[in-house]
Structure 1
Amino acid sequence: MKKISIGLFLAAIATAQPASPTKALSHFIHAVDDLDTTLAFYNNVFGLKGNPSDFTNPAVPLLTNAPGVTLRLSMLALPGGMRLELTHFKGLERKAGQAKYTDPGAASAVFYVRDIDTAVANAKKANAPIVTTGGGPVEITTAKGKARSIILRDPDGFFLQLIQETPGAGAPEGNVHRVSLAYTMENADATRAFYTGKLGIELTGSAAYSKDPAMLQLVGAPAGTEFRKLSGVIPGPPASVEFTEFRGVPRTKFHLRVRDPGAPALCIQVNDETATIGQMKAAGVNIISKDGEIVDFGGGTHTIFVEDPNGMNLEIFERPAPQGGAGKNKQAK
C-alpha cells in the first residue's frame, strides 16, 4: 500500500510540474528587399526552393505596427523540419540594414553541407559577400571534431555559416543536410535571463572568454577580439541555437523594424501567451506590435512581436491544439 501511495504521490508531483513556456520553434524569419531575388539565391546556391505568395491576413499591419503594410512571402522547407520564412513587405517606406557579425542582434543560419567547395563556388558566382578573413573556408573545431567552415552573406546581408560535415544516417538528400541557428548577443547574463527565464529555453556555456584565432578569422573579427558562447535547444522540431558575445571590438546593437530588409526574427509558439507576454511587460521588454497588445490572427491564433535583449525581433504566438491531435507549429504563413 505504501509503495502504491508513494508511486501515486510522485506521479502527481510530475503531473503538477509547470510546462515550459515555449512549446515549439515554428520557423525563423528573414525580411528581404526583393523576394524573387532572394529566392533565386537560395535555389541557385543551395538548391532550396520556395513558392512566393501574397499573405493577405488583415492583422499583419497590427502585428508589425505598420499601418497600410502588405506582405508577400515564401516559406522554405529545410532539413530536420526547420523552416525559413522570407518576408517582403510593401506599401510603405523601408530602410535596409546590415550588421557586422560581432554586433549584438546579428543573425546567422548555419548550413551543414556535404560539399563546401561547391557551395562556396555557387555563392561567389552569385556575388555573395564573403565575411571570413581570406575569402575561403577555415578549419574550426566543432562538437564532432575538426571541420572546414566559412561565413558569407545572402542578398539582404543575412549571415550564412557553412560547415562541411559528413551527414548522419537518414539525412536528406541535397548539399544542405542539417541546419542550426546562431546569434550575436550583447550580454550573456541578460540573454540567459530572457530566453531561459522568460521562455524556458535552457542556455548554458562557460563564463570564460576565448581568443581562438580560427573563430576570429571565421567571423572576420580583428586579432585580440574575445568571445564567449551560450548554447541550447529550442523544442519541436528541435533546433540547436547558439549565442556569441564579443568584447575587445567596437559593437553596435543591430535592430531593424519587422518590415525592414535585413531584419531577422524567430517565430516561437508558447503554451500561455498571456502569461508569457505579461511577464515580459513586467520586466520592461519592448513590445513591437500595435499598442503593445496581442493580435488576433484568426483561426484561434494570437500573436505579437517583441524585441529580445540583443535587438532581434521575436514573434510569439499561441494557438489551440486541433481536435483529435496534438498541436502543430504555426502554418498561417
Structure 2
Amino acid sequence: MLPSAVHDHEDLMQRIARDLIDSYDEELELEIEDRNVDEAGAPVGVDKAARQAYFKELFRLQGELVKLQDWVQHSKQKVVILFEGRDAAGKGGVIKRITQRLNPRVARVAALPAPNDRERTQWYFQRYVAHLPAAGEMVLFDRSWYNRAGVERVMGFCSDAEYEEFFRSAPEFERMLVRSGITLIKYWFSITDEEQHMRFLGRIHDPLKQWKLSPMDLESRRRWEEYTKAKEIMLERTHIAEAPWWVVQAVDKKKARLNCITHLLGQLPYQEVPHAPVVLPPRVRNADYLRQPVPTTMYVPELY
C-alpha cells in the first residue's frame, strides 16, 4: 500500500472512531441531564470510577439489547413492556437507555396523553390496543392501562364501578394478549418519599426540566399516601401468573437502569442472529454527472 493510501486509510479510521465517540456522547448528555442536585439545586459530586463502570456495563447491555432486537425481528416475536411508577421514578430514563441503540421501527415507545372526549366513551382498553405490536416488534408503554388503577383512582377521574370493572377486566385482557402470542412484561419503579421529594426539587431548580412538572405531578406529591394504597391494591389484584409484576428498586437511577435491562434480557430466550458480512459497494461514477453548486444563501450559518 502506497504511503498516501496508508495515510488516507488511517485518516478514515480516525474519522470513524470520532463518529463512534460522538454517538456515545449522547449517553453522556443524558447523564448530565440526569445529574443529582441537592435541596438548593446545586450539582452533587459524582464518583468517577463508579460512573465509568456504569457506562461500561450499560454499553455492554445495550449490545445485548441489539441482539434481542434482531431476535425479535427475525423470529417474529411480539413483546409488550409496561413501565409504571410514581412521577419522577425513572421510567423515562430506563426507556431512553433501552431504545437508544435500537431501530425505532422494531422497538417503539407508546406514551399516550390523557384520553379525549371520544376516547372516554370507548371501551377502556381500546386506545391501548391500537398500539400493540405486530410480529417482529417490541412496544414499550410509558404508563399504560394501569392509569385507571393509579392516577384515575386517586384523582377521582373514574367511578367506583369503573374502577372495579378494571380489576375484573385487566387480568382477562392480559391473559388474552398472552394467549394471542404476546409476551407481556410489567415493571413497577419504586422510590421513597424522600427521593421523589429530592427529584421534584431538582426539576424545580433546573430550567431544562421544569416542563416535566405538571399540576397533576404536584398534586400527586400531596397525595403520596393515597397513591401508595392504590399501588398496593393494583399489585395485589393484577399480579397474575401469565403477566406478573416486577418491582424495580429505583432510588439509585443508574442501578435501576442496569438491573431492569438485565432482568428484561433474562425474560426472553433470545439468541444472536447470524448476519452475512456487510460489504460497502463502490459508488457508481458517471462521466456525464455534474454536481450543481448550492446557493450560499441556503446554508445554515456556521456559528460554531
Give the TM-score of the pair, scaled to structure 1: 0.22
The structure with the greater share of residues assigned to helix is 2
- Structure (1/2) with the larger strand percentage: 1
Structure with bigger gyration radius: 2
